[in-house]
Chain A
Amino acid sequence: AMRDYLSPVLRESKFKEHGRITPEEFVAAGDFLTFKFPVWQWEKGDSSKSRDFLPADKQYLITRNVPCLRRATAVNYTDADEDAEKLMSFLDEAEEAAGPDGKGKEEDEWVATHIGRKSEPSAINDIPDMTDSPPLPTRELANVNLKDSNEEEIEDIPDLDDIPDMDDEGAGLEEEDDPAVRIIHPSEAEVKSTVGQNLLQVRTYDCLISYDKHYQTPRFWLFGYDENKNPLTPAQVFQDVPADHAFKTMTMEAFPHSGQQLASVHPCKHASVMKKFIDRMEAAQGGDGVAEGDPKSAGANSVSASGSGSSSGKKKWGIGGVVRKVTGGGGSGVTADKPEAVKKEGSEDEPQGVQVDFYLVIFLKFIASIVPTIEVDSTTATAL
């Protein structure tokens, strides 16, 4: 936090050179994200903690209730379709024992993404539940917990455990035996979702993106709920983070706009990773550009491009082409209330190349590779 406080606000656009962005560019990219994918919304957060270099009502981005169908440990990715750009491998439990080896990997390995990649769910009969899953270093988090009254004792509150008349009270409150209520016994729901579908439970996450002033990049945060909408404990959250990242790149830290402890991807590598993504996309786009011609005709394409989501999604690094279509052909597919800032940023850049509006969309694809079981990247389904 101290470093954050001391760092000057980045003023100059650096995103092509270093992958870093200014607060203005963060806002522009956020406007684009919320406009294009309205599941994302701007939040103003706790006003006493607002950052003055961001507009008061655009402090951070949030998307709520992102589903997470499986624990990361229940999904073993196959390397059958590995290609040069997908270097990140998920250690299975045996490899995990080797532990620190994972740290020595080069930056490149961040550039992996499992989007669209086939995986082999682990054996169906062997669904690890909380006790079976690999031990997490929860001791470090011994004082971070979100308990539910039914799971754990809460020592300090007197009488909480012995609420003798709580059940009676329930009966008093609800006299009717109501045939129209659909009550599922929790275990039944669990059984249904696990057997046959190899699912543990559907957790949901609130995903937040803040701007990190020190690293001059966006920063990604998670807050999870279990299938009964109770908050997840940090240990539970880390079940959804591959062992490569849990407690290493992904840690619990104070969310700057509320002070609460949330799981976060540490942003120290974000800039270099984003630079690689952008470079690759620019390279790919150079090829695309010839074929697709000037922005006008690309604009005409935009309707068909967004319509046939699956086909364009297959061109992995062709996103840049879509960027140009989206920003260049704004009039055709998209209604008129496009944020001014987006237009301005777009026109200042050279017409070719990745524009900063698209930064957060790329960022989400990168994040999706870190937490593959959490469907953060709603952008694949919608437009690409």
Chain B
Amino acid sequence: MPTILQFQPLSSQPSPAFWSALNNFKLEKLKLDDTRQPITAWLEEGREIADREAKGGEGLIGVDGSVGLGSAAFGEEGSHSFRPPLGSTSLKGVFKNFNTVEEFKATDPKKDLFNSIVDEMLDSFATDSPNLNPFLLVTFADLKKYVYHYWFAFPALVSKPAWEMEDRGLQAAEQVDVAEIRALAKNMSFSDGAYLIKGPRGQRSAGPLSSAKSFFEGVIDEERTVAFHDPSSIVSAPGWPLRNILVYLHRVHSISSITVFCLRAGSSRVCRASLPSPETSDKPSAVGWERNKVGKLASRVADLGPMMDPMRLADQAV
């Protein structure tokens, strides 16, 4: 029995440097402007960490890659100010800061924002450079206290019926395949951290997602592959970004069966995904607000007062 393909949700990880960048951005550029702003994050691949203390040899611990935000998230002056850490791909998003906590808490503005990003993503499907994994960050910054309320959303289109994974499940990929597929992407810059692969081992070639129709022309199903940088480290589930990639490939390029290659910093994995029957609805619904650490849909708070408040720092410095 094929099983429903489940996806490991993304998790956000804004660094302290990001919050201080937000401070400056708000004070010097935005001021009371609460329009949406472009923002850049990075997405790490899932990793495996050797546990040196494990009993009876090497245990491997999976660490999911997270969506990281650093000091250059708002794109400062200077050309190469944004450098994602090694092995990460960059992720474009939309940032909106609300000026009052009431606005931040209200449902409708957030919902509208979310929907508009989904609509833009769907519109981009028709273009040559679809933007498949945009993210949304809404904040309310209490600048006097250095307290930041924030909520991330990683919109994902819901496929009905859901994609399924074939019996073999998510298997470990062979090293020779990983090396070849990674090498193919080296000299080409693919957006969204994903690209298409065709051909047998040793003779593979790569192409961008938007060319799927022509790229896969005359290629048998078994040799159609999509590779993506996978933030998941779970052995049974690929990461969140794959959702929109699959929906895109199906809706725009009528692909309903494909091999998925999950490129991870640990051991990469591969599975065969298929859609039992074509999607029916015209417009897919979307999900993706980040849950807090108890698994609820709610915003989070970062209180950096102790680290950044000059008054409190002065108290400690005595």
Chain A residues in the interface with B (C-beta under 8 A): 1, 38-39, 41, 43, 45-46, 64-65, 67, 69-70, 75, 119, 121, 143-150, 154, 156-160, 163, 165-176, 178-183, 185-186, 193, 197-199, 202, 204, 206, 223, 225-226, 228-231, 254, 258-262, 375, 381
Q: Out of B234, B296, B315, which one reaches A143, CB within 8 Å? A: B315
Is the pair A180, B302 in contact by a Cβ cutoff of 8 Å? Answer: no
* B243 at the binding interface (Cβ < 8 Å): yes
Is the pair A223, B303 in contact by a Cβ cutoff of 8 Å? Answer: no
Q: Out of A147, A226, A259, which one reaches B301, CB within 8 Å? A: A147
The docked-state distance in angstroms from the alpha carbon of A150 to that of B293 is: 8
* B15 at the binding interface (Cβ < 8 Å): yes
Is the pair A46, B16 in contact by a Cβ cutoff of 8 Å? Answer: no
The docked-state distance in angstroms from the alpha carbon of A146 to that of B308 is: 11
A-B interface pairs (CB < 8 A), number? 193
Is the pair B301, A170 in contact by a Cβ cutoff of 8 Å? Answer: no
The interface size of chain B toward A, counting residues with CB under 8 Å, comes to 74
Q: Out of B51, B59, B306, which one reaches A146, CB within 8 Å? A: B306
Q: Out of B11, B71, B291, B296, which one reaches A46, CB within 8 Å? A: B71
Is the pair A39, B61 in contact by a Cβ cutoff of 8 Å? Answer: no
Chain B residues in the interface with A (C-beta under 8 A): 4-9, 11-13, 15-17, 20, 44, 47, 49-51, 53-55, 59, 61, 63, 66, 68, 71, 83, 85-86, 101-102, 105, 107, 110-111, 114, 142, 145, 147, 149, 158-159, 162-163, 234, 237, 243, 285, 287-289, 291-304, 306-308, 312-313, 315-317
Q: Out of A119, A156, A182, A381, which one reaches B50, CB within 8 Å? A: A381
Residues of B within 8 Å of A39, CB to CB, are 85-86
Residues of A within 8 Å of B63, CB to CB, are 65, 67, 202, 204
Known A-B contacts A182-B6, A258-B20; the reply to A70 vs B53 at CB < 8 A is yes
Q: Out of B13, B105, B142, B306, which one reaches A163, CB within 8 Å? A: B105
Residues of B within 8 Å of A160, CB to CB, are 101, 149, 301
> How distant is B280 from chain A, measured CB to nearest CB, in Å?
15
B66: nearest chain-A partner, CB-CB? A229
Is the pair A150, B294 in contact by a Cβ cutoff of 8 Å? Answer: yes
The docked-state distance in angstroms from the alpha carbon of A162 to that of B160 is: 37
Is the pair B303, A147 in contact by a Cβ cutoff of 8 Å? Answer: yes
Residues of B within 8 Å of A171, CB to CB, are 297
Known A-B contacts A143-B316, A171-B297; the reply to A182 vs B237 at CB < 8 A is yes
The docked-state distance in angstroms from the alpha carbon of A230 to that of B299 is: 12
Is the pair B147, A157 in contact by a Cβ cutoff of 8 Å? Answer: yes
Identify whether the interface residues of A are mostly helix, strand, loop, or mixed: loop
Is the pair A144, B316 in contact by a Cβ cutoff of 8 Å? Answer: yes
Known A-B contacts A167-B296, A170-B296, A258-B20; the reply to A75 vs B53 at CB < 8 A is yes
Residues of A within 8 Å of B301, CB to CB, are 147-149, 154, 160
Q: Out of B47, B55, B149, B289, which one reaches A170, CB within 8 Å? A: B289
Is the pair A38, B7 in contact by a Cβ cutoff of 8 Å? Answer: no
Known A-B contacts A121-B53, A180-B5; the reply to A145 vs B303 at CB < 8 A is yes
> How distant is B297 from chain A, measured CB to nearest CB, in Å?
3
What are 6 A-to-B residue pairs whose CB atoms are below 8 Å? A69-B51, A166-B298, A170-B297, A181-B9, A260-B20, A261-B313
A163, A178, A206, A223: residue with the most chain B Cβ atoms closer than 10 Å: A178
Residues of A within 8 Å of B71, CB to CB, are 43, 45-46
The docked-state distance in angstroms from the alpha carbon of A262 to that of B59 is: 31
The docked-state distance in angstroms from the alpha carbon of A254 to that of B312 is: 12
Q: Out of B17, B50, B111, B237, which one reaches A172, CB within 8 Å? A: B111
Residues of B within 8 Å of A156, CB to CB, are 145, 147
A159: nearest chain-B partner, CB-CB? B101
Is the pair B303, A154 in contact by a Cβ cutoff of 8 Å? Answer: yes
Known A-B contacts A166-B298, A228-B293; the reply to A173 vs B107 at CB < 8 A is yes
Known A-B contacts A67-B63, A170-B297, A180-B158; the reply to A375 vs B147 at CB < 8 A is no
> How distant is B138 from chain A, measured CB to nearest CB, in Å?
11
Is the pair B312, A167 in contact by a Cβ cutoff of 8 Å? Answer: no
A62: nearest chain-B partner, CB-CB? B85
Residues of B within 8 Å of A143, CB to CB, are 306, 312, 315-316
Is the pair A178, B287 in contact by a Cβ cutoff of 8 Å? Answer: yes
Contacts beyond the supplied A67-B61, A167-B298, A181-B6: 13 A-B pairs with Cβ under 8 Å: A121-B55, A143-B306, A143-B315, A146-B304, A159-B105, A163-B298, A173-B110, A173-B297, A176-B285, A180-B158, A182-B7, A229-B11, A260-B308
Is the pair B291, A183 in contact by a Cβ cutoff of 8 Å? Answer: yes
> How distant is B26 from chain A, measured CB to nearest CB, in Å?
15
Residues of A within 8 Å of B85, CB to CB, are 39, 41, 64
Is the pair B287, A223 in contact by a Cβ cutoff of 8 Å? Answer: no
> How distant is A277 from chain B, measured CB to nearest CB, in Å?
21
B306: nearest chain-A partner, CB-CB? A144
Residues of B within 8 Å of A202, CB to CB, are 49, 61, 63
Is the pair A182, B8 in contact by a Cβ cutoff of 8 Å? Answer: yes
Is the pair B303, A229 in contact by a Cβ cutoff of 8 Å? Answer: no
Is the pair A166, B299 in contact by a Cβ cutoff of 8 Å? Answer: yes
Is the pair A261, B111 in contact by a Cβ cutoff of 8 Å? Answer: no
The docked-state distance in angstroms from the alpha carbon of A36 to that of B144 is: 42
The docked-state distance in angstroms from the alpha carbon of A233 to that of B6 is: 33
Is the pair A229, B13 in contact by a Cβ cutoff of 8 Å? Answer: yes
Is the pair A259, B313 in contact by a Cβ cutoff of 8 Å? Answer: yes
Is the pair B287, A169 in contact by a Cβ cutoff of 8 Å? Answer: no
